[in-house]
Chains A and B, each alone.
Chain A
Amino acid sequence: AQKVTQAQTEISVVEKEDVTLDCVYETRDTTYYLFWYKQPPSGELVFLIRRNSFDEQNEISGRYSWNFQKSTSSFNFTITASQVVDSAVYFCALSGQYGNKLVFGAGTILRVKS
């Protein structure tokens, strides 16, 4: 069975602080895909990134960076110099090689205060 755990239910930071959102996954597939989504208060989930299990290179996109470590089955997400607009619920998700569906974690609520 596949499982995604986001142990942090809620995180509060002050603007300009760096923040890391943790994601730990379980799967027996050798090929799998990991995703991060952002859900702002408006409700729509916004796709942020997809990584496949063979690509362990870390990725940086502006203030966002992702650290994928197969050895610890983790795919953590860091926001540098957080801003109020980053306040949202962030979901980590997993898909197997032949799966028809994404398995989502419970989400982490990020509150960035000015």
Chain B
Amino acid sequence: ETGVTQTPRHLVMGMTNKKSLKCEQHLGHNAMYWYKQSAKKPLELMFVYSLEERVENNSVPSRFSPECPNSSHLFLHLHTLQPEDSALYLCASSQDLAYYEQYFGPGTRLTVT
């Protein structure tokens, strides 16, 4: 596999479920990001990790919990979500922090019912 991969590509979950989104980068990068993209809204940065340490947390509700076990993997754990959390969740990586270009995965389309 090359680039940035995300699984699953589509996810439907109820408000009481717990699920996790997975992101893996094969580029040898040091920084990884989670973004949320809702219809008719700008891309929202959620979390930033650099060398496995969280360096940015953009006032994201606690029902979203990130985890970065190593520089190649990033998870987003979801629990007790709301319907307004339905969106496309994009993972990205970059060589280092944001002045380097970011490479994005294909995203996970999340629907909360």
Contacts and interface: CB of A to CB of B under 8 A. Distances in A.
B42 interface: yes
Interface stretch (A11-19, A55-63, A68-76, A93-101): A93-101
B45 A101 contact: yes
- Secondary structure of the B side of the interface? strand
B42 A105 contact: yes
Interface of A: 33, 35, 37, 42-47, 50, 52, 91, 95-97, 99-102, 104-107
A104 B42 CA distance: 7
A37 B92 CA distance: 13
A101 to B, nearest CB: 5
Nearest to A104: B43
A104 B92 CA distance: 14
A94 to B, nearest CB: 9
Nearest to A43: B107
Contacts of A50: 100-101
Nearest to A44: B106
B107 A100 contact: no
